[in-house]
């Protein structure tokens, strides 16, 4: 009788543990990985990676359909972070998808804008405001610099202007002389 | 009565160098030909300009309105004309520019009529609003809006109000001179603060190297005859004037990582702030002037009472800047920041302007590797391990640096002062802190972009669905229309039969037009912040002007 009880109790324990482990395992394999990758991506939503936005690219990476070096706005640091998260080998940015550029924001030449709304439809983050046949303007704080609004503009009035430093965004410089050989080894640590 | 003082760990005793600038009384500096008043001089939102180019202003007139509650107003120090509102170089290590109101004084110094304010009868909330609109911020250097700190919070009372006159940093003597000159008004300001905070006791603390100020304050305290107010002289040891350090010396309370002194019933203000509160409430005076020590490599080191917005060059001219000066510093030699631009204005945070020369401050010796001697940890008043912070900041390992409580570092410079390897430790901490802030900003921007992107996708999906539904409705309507459509004249043959399908047709067309209109009209103009709205309005304004300029040939499409 007691042995039977023990066997049953033991069985219950083992099954419970397996279930628990399975739930933990399945959790790490589901959406959270996509979210973790998505958290590293810059959310510029420019599509240079070949996917219609950062989240689809994150899904593709998680599914093994895309490589980790296809996002130019994320740059070298982004690739390193992804390599680190996924335990993969770092590789330089794939030039096919574009090159890393300093962050810019779009500026509409308000005198030339004809109010056609084509840029509004192109902007993935609703950073352009305006109505039909009225001048449009870009809300600088919201613009991610994806450049998607530039080609559709028939009046060619959108310029990408690099973001300049302000007193608020200025950073103290690294205190020692930057050695040219060092950056190759240092950022690896930084990603850790 | 306080009968026991405590002590903080670490600290150093640098040469005070304070006697040179305390020989002469405070001098009121004449107005410069132009005042440059930055709109953003405090922690919090940037004030909105209330004047336009060409308008005339009076002394004490508000020229910048606080942006929200975590902000503070900005005022014209004298009467004159606004000649520009544009970015001007700031007294900041970057040397970059920020929006400022440029005023040309008319020399009459006409003051605005002061709004009478009976603070005795006012509710605490009203007093706080008044102080915010009077531009009162912490004058010890942190420039945190004072009205936010003058709130007893949930508990409704405070144990101890500390008025900080320690002024521990070498060369700086502006608070010392202020305590000697206006001890009564400082204490009166402290008593108003005590009332607002419902504080049980007020401790006015200063270092024992300021005997004149201590005597003056004690005499003033006796004259006021308030038993809850006490002047406490603390031992001179840098950085005794750090808020956490001073609180520890006075009360023994050790404010742990991640908490604030208010969690322990202690609130701390600088002496000059107490005076500013008094002047604002009793005389309706906005904060438009402050005392600035000019010291170091100058002929006549002295304290000046200057209008905020005065170019720094004007002060150095008055004190006689020596020609072999190689560097200018705002603040003291321990915590000050390099000033790349001598034409930048004095701001509310400017307590000291220090000229350095190779003889006064020897150029830094070459940095050697850290030998892990632990001297820095013994000197650190914040009980940190500076060599660990250094190690991880240097390796750009910011996460680890934060684990070692990088943000508890007050950048006092004690560690660098004692380091035998001459490592500019604080430079590494500043670098690491600003990198971490930049990353946080990037992350916030990415999060907001993600949200907006997802919202847009959701909206696009919804619109698609709506369109599909309408299409389906139209298709459903079509078969009924067809027979009426086919033979054209049949329409008037059976008008009654056609009535219903016709209605459906018109409705479908109208719905289509509506949908189109909706798709075309920007739907992202709602839920904007006031700043964004202002941006849009400004753009519309420009557009209007542009079309006015180009007259009838303005594009109308
Ligand atoms: S390239 Fe990068 S930023 Fe652009 S959509 Fe792809 S993941 Fe996002
Ligand atoms: S405004 Fe242009 S560049 Fe900026 S986010 Fe929108 S589409 Fe991209
Ligand atoms: S004092 Fe300097 S050398 Fe000594 S442990 Fe600290 S950083 Fe290293
Ligand atoms: S600068 Fe920071 S780490 Fe160095 S002694 Fe001061 S508080 Fe400690």
Q: Enumerate the residues of chain A whose CB falls inside 8 A of the CB of residue B45.
A: none
Average pLDDT rounded to a whole number, residues B312-332: 95
ipTM tops 0.85: no
Residue A172 lies in a domain: no
List, as ranges, residues 40-79 from B with C-beta within 8 Å of A: 40
Domain containing residue A157: CATH number: 3.30.70.20
- Domain end point (choices A43, A67, A97): A97
Which of B419, B426, B430, B431 for a ligand 4 pocket mutation test, highest count of atoms within 8 Å of Cβ? B426
Q: How far is the CA of B207 from the centre of ligand 3 (A)?
A: 29
Average pLDDT rounded to a whole number, residues A37-52: 93
- In the DSSP assignment, the letter for residue B137 is B
Cβ-defined contact of B398 to A139 (cutoff 8 Å): no
Handedness of CA B40, B43, B46, B52 (dihedral sign): negative
Distances (CA, A) of A100 to A142, B58, B184: 20, 51, 62
Interface contact B458, partner A, CB < 8 A: no
- Here the tokens at position B145 are 């809006």
The number of distinct structural domains making up chain A is 2
Cβ-defined contact of A128 to B524 (cutoff 8 Å): yes
- Here the tokens at position B52 are 């336009």
Task: Using the predicted structure, report yes or no on whether residue B390 has a pLDDT greater than 80.
Answer: yes
Residue A158 lies in a domain: yes
- Here the tokens at position B1 are 């009565």
Residues 6+ away with beta carbon under 8 Å from B476: none
List, as ranges, residues 474-503 from B with C-beta within 8 Å of A: none
Residue A43 lies in a domain: yes
Residue A151 lies in a domain: yes
Q: Could you tell me how many CB contacts below 8 A there are between chain A and chain B?
A: 130
Interface contact B518, partner A, CB < 8 A: no
Domain containing residue A42: CATH number: 1.10.15.40
Nearest to A124 among B90, B396, B453 (CB): B453
Residue A170 lies in a domain: no
Read off the pLDDT band of A140 (50, 70, 90). confident
- Residue with the smallest CA separation from ligand 3 atom 3 is B370
Q: What are phi and psi of B177, to 5 degrees?
A: -65, -35
Interface contact A185, partner B, CB < 8 A: no
Does A48 share its domain with A84?
yes
pLDDT at B553: 42
Check if the beta carbon of residue B188 is closer than 8 Å to that of residue B278. yes
**Residue that is written with structure tokens 């067809």 in the block:** B482
Percent of chain B that is helix, strand, coil (3-state, to 5): 40, 15, 40
List, as ranges, residues 94-153 from A with C-beta within 8 Å of B: 110-111, 114-115, 117, 120, 124-133, 135-137, 139-142, 144
Q: How many CA atoms within 13 Å lie on the side-chain side of B198?
A: 10
Of A151, A55, A77, A152, nearest in space to B452 by CA = A55
| Least reliable range by pLDDT among A140-144, B266-270, B286-290 | A140-144
Task: Using the predicted structure, report yes or no on whether residue B396 has a pLDDT greater than 80.
Answer: yes
- In the DSSP assignment, the letter for residue B16 is -
Task: Using the predicted structure, report yes or no on whether residue A18 has a pLDDT greater than 60.
Answer: no
pLDDT at A136: 75
- Here the tokens at position B442 are 């990037």
Q: Enumerate the residues of chain A whose CB falls inside 8 A of the CB of residue B544.
A: none
For residue B308, how far is the Cα from the chain centroid? 15
Q: Could you tell me which chain A residue has the CA closest to the CA of B42?
A: A168
Most confident of the ranges A167-176, B265-274, B543-552: B265-274
Distances (CA, A) of B431 to B139, B415, B426, B428: 25, 16, 8, 5
Does A47 share its domain with A66?
yes
| Least reliable range by pLDDT among A16-20, B397-401, B533-537 | A16-20
Residue A107 lies in a domain: yes
Handedness of CA A74, A78, A79, A85 (dihedral sign): negative
Task: Using the predicted structure, report yes or no on whether residue B236 has a pLDDT greater than 70.
Answer: yes
Reduced to 3 states (helix: H, G, I; strand: E, B; else coil), residue B281 is helix
Task: Give ∠ CA B504-B506-B511 in degrees, rounded to 5.
Answer: 95
Domain of A51 in residue numbering reads as: 32-97
pLDDT in tens, B70-121: 999 999 999 999 999 999 999 999 999 999 999 999 999 999 988 778 999 9
Percent of chain A that is helix, strand, coil (3-state, to 5): 40, 5, 55
pLDDT in tens, B480-539: 544 444 444 444 444 444 445 545 555 555 555 555 544 544 444 555 566 666 666 666
Does A108 share its domain with A156?
yes
pLDDT at B520: 46
Q: Enumerate the residues of chain A whose CB falls inside 8 A of the CB of residue B542.
A: 110
What is d(CA B203, CA B35) in angstroms, rounded to the nearest whole number? 37
Residue A9 lies in a domain: no
Task: Using the predicted structure, report yes or no on whether residue A27 has a pLDDT greater than 70.
Answer: no
> Mean pLDDT, chain B, as a whole number?
88
Interface contact A177, partner B, CB < 8 A: no
A16, containing H or E segment:
helix A2-29
Mutate which of B453, B530, B553, B555 to test chain A, going by most A C-beta atoms within 10 A?
B453
Burial of B414 (0-12, 13-18, 19+ CB in 10 A): buried
Interface contact B522, partner A, CB < 8 A: yes
Taking CB atoms and a 6 Å cutoff, what residues make up the pocket around ligand 2? A 106, 122-123, 125, 127-128, 138, 143-149
Residues 6+ away with beta carbon under 8 Å from B305: B26, B27, B28, B29, B289, B290, B291
Reduced to 3 states (helix: H, G, I; strand: E, B; else coil), residue B103 is strand
Cβ-defined contact of B397 to A189 (cutoff 8 Å): yes
Q: Enumerate the residues of chain A whose CB falls inside 8 A of the CB of residue B557.
A: 114-115, 133
Check if the beta carbon of residue B366 is closer than 8 Å to that of residue B422. yes
Task: Using the predicted structure, report yes or no on whether residue A179 has a pLDDT greater than 90.
Answer: no
List, as ranges, residues 315-374 from B with C-beta within 8 Å of A: 367
Does A119 share its domain with A87?
no
The terminus-to-terminus CA distance of chain A in angstroms comes to 56
Name the β-bridge partners of B82. Answer: B103
A129, containing H or E segment:
strand A128-129
What is the CATH superfamily name and number for domain B20-29+119-356? NADH-ubiquinone oxidoreductase 51kDa subunit (3.40.50.11540)
Q: How far is the CA of A154 from the centre of ligand 2 (A)?
A: 16
- In the DSSP assignment, the letter for residue B109 is -
Taking CB atoms and a 6 Å cutoff, what residues make up the pocket around ligand 1? A 41-42, 44-49, 51, 53-54, 57, 71-74
Strands B302-307 and B27-28: parallel
Does A106 share its domain with A144?
yes
Check if the beta carbon of residue B184 is closer than 8 Å to that of residue B225. no
Read off the pLDDT band of B545 (50, 70, 90). low
Does A83 share its domain with A106?
no
| Least reliable range by pLDDT among A162-176, B383-397, B504-518 | B504-518
Ligand nearest the Cα of residue A67 is: 1
Which of A43, A57, A147 for a ligand 1 pocket mutation test, highest count of atoms within 8 Å of Cβ? A57
What is d(CA B271, CA B172) in angstroms, rounded to the nearest whole number? 14
Q: Enumerate the residues of chain B whose CB falls inside 8 A of the CB of residue A170.
A: 92-94, 96, 434
Read off the pLDDT band of A190 (50, 70, 90). very low
Task: Using the predicted structure, report yes or no on whether residue B161 has a pLDDT greater than 70.
Answer: yes
Does A36 share its domain with A93?
yes
Q: Enumerate the residues of chain A whose CB falls inside 8 A of the CB of residue B367.
A: 176
Task: Give ∠ CA B517-B518-B521 in degrees, rounded to 5.
Answer: 80
Read off the pLDDT band of B128 (50, 70, 90). very high
Domain coordinates in residue numbering, chain B: 20-29+119-356, 373-482, 485-516
Does A86 share its domain with A120?
no
């Amino acid at each position: 009788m007691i042995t039977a009880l023990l066997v049953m109790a033991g069985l219950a324990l083992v099954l419970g543990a397996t279930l628990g482990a399975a739930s933990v395992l399945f959790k790490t394999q589901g959406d959270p990985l996509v979210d973790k990758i998505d958290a590293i991506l810059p959310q510029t939503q420019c599509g240079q990676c070949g996917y219609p936005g950062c989240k689809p690219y994150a899904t593709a990476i998680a599914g093994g359909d895309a490589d980790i070096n296809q996002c130019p706005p994320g740059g070298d640091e982004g690739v390193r972070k992804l390599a680190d998260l996924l335990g993969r080998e770092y590789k330089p940015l794939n030039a096919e998808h574009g090159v890393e550029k300093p962050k810019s924001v779009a500026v509409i030449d308000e005198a030339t804008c004809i109010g056609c709304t084509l840029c509004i439809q192109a902007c993935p983050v609703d950073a352009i405001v305006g109505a039909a046949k009225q001048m449009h303007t870009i809300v600088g704080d919201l613009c991610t610099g994806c450049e998607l609004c530039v080609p559709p503009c028939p009046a060619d009035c959108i310029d990408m202007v690099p973001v300049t430093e302000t007193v608020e965004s200025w950073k103290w410089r690294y205190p020692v002389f930057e050695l040219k050989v060092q950056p190759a080894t240092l950022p690896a640590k930084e990603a850790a | 009565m306080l009968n026991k003082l405590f002590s903080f760990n670490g600290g150093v005793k640098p040469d005070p160098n304070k006697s040179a600038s305390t020989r002469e009384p405070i001098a009121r500096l004449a107005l410069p030909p132009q005042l440059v008043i930055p709109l953003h001089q405090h922690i919090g939102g940037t004030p909105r300009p209330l004047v336009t180019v060409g308008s005339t202003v009076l002394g004490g007139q508000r020229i910048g309105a606080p942006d929200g509650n975590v902000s503070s107003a900005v005022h014209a120090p004298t009467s004159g004309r606004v000649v520009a509102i544009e970015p001007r170089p700031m007294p900041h290590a970057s040397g970059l520019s920020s929006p400022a109101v440029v005023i040309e004084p008319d020399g009459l110094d006409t003051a605005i009529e002061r709004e009478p304010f009976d603070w005795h009868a006012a509710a605490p909330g009203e007093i706080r609003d008044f102080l915010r609109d009077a531009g009162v911020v912490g004058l010890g250097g942190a420039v945190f809006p004072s009205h936010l700190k003058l709130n007893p919070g949930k508990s409704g009372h405070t144990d101890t109000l500390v008025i900080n006159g320690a002024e521990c940093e070498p060369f700086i003597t502006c608070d010392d001179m202020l305590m000697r000159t206006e001890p009564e008004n400082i204490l009166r300001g402290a008593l108003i603060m005590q009332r607002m905070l419902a504080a049980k006791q007020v401790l006015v603390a200063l270092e024992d190297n300021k005997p004149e100020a201590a005597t003056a304050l004690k005499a003033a305290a006796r004259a006021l005859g308030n038993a809850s107010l006490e002047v406490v002289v603390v031992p001179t040891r840098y950085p005794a004037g750090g808020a956490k350090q001073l609180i520890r010396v006075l009360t023994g309370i050790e404010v742990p990582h991640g908490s604030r002194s208010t969690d322990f019933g202690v609130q701390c203000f600088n002496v000059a702030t107490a005076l500013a509160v008094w002047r604002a409430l009793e005389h309706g005076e906005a904060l438009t002037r402050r005392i600035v020590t000019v010291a170091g490599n100058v002929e006549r080191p002295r304290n000046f009472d200057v209008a905020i917005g005065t170019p720094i060059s004007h002060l150095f001219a008055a004190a006689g800047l020596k020609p072999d000066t190689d560097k200018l510093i705002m603040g003291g030699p321990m915590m000050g920041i390099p000033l790349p631009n001598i034409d930048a204005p004095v701001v509310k945070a400017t307590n000291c302007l220090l000229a350095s020369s190779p003889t006064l401050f020897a150029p830094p010796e070459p940095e050697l590797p850290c030998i892990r001697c632990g001297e820095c940890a013994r000197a650190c008043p914040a009980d940190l391990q500076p060599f660990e912070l250094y190690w991880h900041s240097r390796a750009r390992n910011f996460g680890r640096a934060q684990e070692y409580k990088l943000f508890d570092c007050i950048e006092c410079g004690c560690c660098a002062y004692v380091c035998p390897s001459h490592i500019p430790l604080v430079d590494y901490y500043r670098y690491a802190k600003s990198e971490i802030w930049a990353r946080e900003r990037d992350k916030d921007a990415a999060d907001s972009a993600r949200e907006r992107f997802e919202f847009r996708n959701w909206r696009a999906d919804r619109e698609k669905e709506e369109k599909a539904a309408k299409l389906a409705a139209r298709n459903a309507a079509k078969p009924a229309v067809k027979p009426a459509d086919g033979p054209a004249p049949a329409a008037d043959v059976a008008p009654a039969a056609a009535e219903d399908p016709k209605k459906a047709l018109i409705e479908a067309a109208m719905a289509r037009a509506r949908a189109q209109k909706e798709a075309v009209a920007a739907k992202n103009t709602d839920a904007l912040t006031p700043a964004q709205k202002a941006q849009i309005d400004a753009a519309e304004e420009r557009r209007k002007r542009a079309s006015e300029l180009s007259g009838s040939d303005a594009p109308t499409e």
